[in-house]
Amino acid sequence: MADVPGERDQSQRNALLFLMFPATFEDITSDDHKRRIAEAHADVAGEDPDLDRRLRAVRSQRNLVRGSAGTAGTCDPPGTRRRPPSCKALPVRGSCA
């Protein structure tokens, strides 16, 4: 899958990986958004060159679970306020953007 050419094709690749392996990959299609999340949680994301592995490390280290916004599935790091319902999983600290 990593050999899928083109920057535009990357979103489709990310979506397909999530659909095929939802327990392993995030439901985030933008590599830029994935990078921003990993950077915001750099203290636990690690140095792995694989962006998806860094996001897995964030989820694991922050003890985040999947779920609906406003439920036990919230992905806010400890010490931040509850995310608004419009946020997706693993938001950049303090925002949905």
Q: What is the model's pLDDT at position 79?
A: 53
pLDDT over 70 percentage in the chain: 57
Does some domain include residue 87? yes
Does some domain include residue 96? no
Calculate the CA 2 to chain-centre distance.
Answer: 18
Long-range interactions of 50-57: CB distance < 8 A, separation 24+: 52/17, 52/24, 52/25, 52/26, 55/26, 55/28, 55/90, 56/24
pLDDT digits (tens, 9 = 90+) for 14-33: 999 999 998 889 989 999 99
Does some domain include residue 27? yes
Q: What is the model's pLDDT at position 43?
A: 92
Highest mean pLDDT among 12-16, 60-64, 73-77, 88-92: 12-16
Higher-confidence position of 67 and 30: 30
Does some domain include residue 97? no
Domain that holds residue 54: 1-91
The C-alpha atoms of residue 88 and residue 53 are separated, in whole angstroms, by 19
Does some domain include residue 28? yes
Considering the entire predicted model, what is its pTM? Answer: 0.61
Total domains present in the chain: 1
Q: What is the model's pLDDT at position 71?
A: 36
